Chain A
Amino acid sequence: MPDATGLELIGKELGAAVLDKSFFRERATLDVDPAAIRAVLAHLREKGFAFLASVHGVDYYPHEPRLGVIYELLDMRSVDRITVRARVPIDAPVLDSVTPDGDYGAGWPTANHQEREVYDMFGVVFRGHPDPRRILMPEDYEGHPQRRDFPVGGEPVLFTRDEAQWLERRE
């Protein structure tokens, strides 16, 4: 982990792209402007955080902006981690994909499937993703099941004692 001072320094380097910083239980987190996510990750890669360990989503319902995409970065040389978080609103959940190569340099191919999963479960659309399909749910599935306002779903359990009644309803 960068310590609190190190986090301040990284925040200063990134300037206006950083909306907030937090250092909680030895974990450094940067809240960044979603429009600048590629630039932030590319900059941190230059600083040594070259390995994108995980991309995942969070629904912060009822807080706005609701959806968060979290990038866990790892510096393999000093075994140092930093978390980058971009929050997007529910009515326009669009974020730049970090999978393809671009003017910020090489992309992170590992983000390919993980961004698809975030799209599948939370509905965040990754602009520029090479293969923006669902990955876990069937392709004709409607909705994004990990959102907090998505019904849990499931089936009413049929017990033997209710069976006669159930058959009646069916007829």
Chain B
Amino acid sequence: MEVRRSSREAIDGSSLAVRGLSAEQMLRGGELTGANQPAHLKGTDLEREQLEAHVHERVLTTTLDKAVAWARSNSFFPLSFGLACCAMEQFQTAGPRMDIARFGYEAFRASPRQADLIILAGRVSIKMAPIIRRLYDQMLEPKWAISMGACCSSMGIFNNYALVPADKFMPIDVHVPGCPPRPEALMHGVLKLRKLVQDDPDAGWRERYGAGGTEEVPAGA
């Protein structure tokens, strides 16, 4: 940090001419003298501090985990899946007004094998729950789940004998309240999930409830 600060101070207006350097020169770092020197820098050899500043301005360092999380969180593949009235609002997020494609989530997959995000849009009846659980288990890791609407979070107006809340049979990362939530609310939920994936992929439902792996326990295990 010390080096960087001092090198930044060393840059005056004239030395900003180094912005015209080619990538190859930048990566080779320091081979900017002699035959490699660009024509417009003739006679102005980069000093050591200027070179530091030059690299600092052009190279971004990060960890692989962060880069992977960034890539994942900006290209969820949601499963084409709707349960009830919330599904209408879910369709609308893909429509032209909200346009979920702005964030890169427009690839709704028809197979759970290709999806990494399941949006439970609607009420889950006890007859449907095992089917949803199977779909969720068929999705490949890493995978996330959004519970959309009051019904599949807290069963909403259908809080009776026929329904089961989604948290009872699968881990949910983000709950979007509403009855039904407007498309904006679902977008907000998806962006919350993006934040969750970028910041700490493990924190969330699994950690809070000690749900480690989300794989189904085989019968007899």
Per-residue contact bits, chain A 142-171, to B (CB 8 Å; 1 contact, 0 not) = 000100001111110110000000000000
Contact between chains at A150 and B159 (CB < 8 Å) = no
Does residue B154 face the partner (Cβ distance < 8 Å to A)?
yes
Pair count A-B, CB < 8 A: 33
Specify the main secondary structure of chain B where it touches its partner.
loop
Contact between chains at A137 and B165 (CB < 8 Å) = no
Q: Which residues of B contact A130 (CB under 8 A)?
A: none
Q: Which residues of A contact B154 (CB under 8 A)?
A: 155, 157-158
Cβ-defined partner of A154 (8 Å) among B127, B163, B168: B163
Does residue A138 face the partner (Cβ distance < 8 Å to B)?
yes
Q: Which residues of A contact B161 (CB under 8 A)?
A: 145, 150-154
Does residue B211 face the partner (Cβ distance < 8 Å to A)?
no
Contact between chains at A137 and B127 (CB < 8 Å) = yes
Contact between chains at B127 and A155 (CB < 8 Å) = no
Of chain B, the residue at the smallest CB distance from A151 is: B161
Of chain A, the residue at the smallest CB distance from B167 is: A158
Does residue B126 face the partner (Cβ distance < 8 Å to A)?
yes
Of chain B, the residue at the smallest CB distance from A134 is: B127
Specify the main secondary structure of chain A where it touches its partner.
loop
Of chain A, the residue at the smallest CB distance from B154 is: A157
| Chain B: minimal CB distance from A50 (Å) | 35
Quick one: which of B152-191 are within 8 Å of A by CB? 154-155, 159-165, 167-168
Q: Which residues of A contact B155 (CB under 8 A)?
A: 154-155, 157
Report the interface size class on chain A: 10 to 19
| Chain A: minimal CB distance from B153 (Å) | 9
Q: Which residues of B contact A138 (CB under 8 A)?
A: 126-127
A153 CA / B155 CA spacing, docked (Å): 11
A68 CA / B165 CA spacing, docked (Å): 33
Q: Which residues of A contact B163 (CB under 8 A)?
A: 154
Q: Which residues of B contact A153 (CB under 8 A)?
A: 160-162
| Chain A: minimal CB distance from B120 (Å) | 15
Most buried by B among A137, A150, A154: A154
| Chain B: minimal CB distance from A40 (Å) | 33
Per-residue contact bits, chain A 86-106, to B (CB 8 Å; 1 contact, 0 not) = 000000000000000000000
A120 CA / B128 CA spacing, docked (Å): 17
A61 CA / B165 CA spacing, docked (Å): 30
Contact between chains at A154 and B160 (CB < 8 Å) = yes
Q: Which residues of B contact A151 (CB under 8 A)?
A: 161
A161 CA / B160 CA spacing, docked (Å): 23
A136 CA / B126 CA spacing, docked (Å): 10
Contact between chains at B159 and A137 (CB < 8 Å) = no
A-B contact pairs, 24 of them (CB 8 A): A136-B127, A137-B126, A137-B127, A137-B162, A141-B126, A145-B161, A145-B162, A150-B161, A151-B161, A152-B160, A153-B162, A154-B155, A154-B159, A154-B160, A154-B161, A154-B163, A155-B159, A155-B164, A155-B165, A155-B168, A157-B154, A157-B159, A158-B154, A158-B167
Binding site for A on B (CB under 8 A): 126-127, 154-155, 159-165, 167-168
Closest 7 CB pairs of A and B: A153-B161, A154-B159, A157-B154, A145-B161, A138-B127, A154-B160, A152-B160
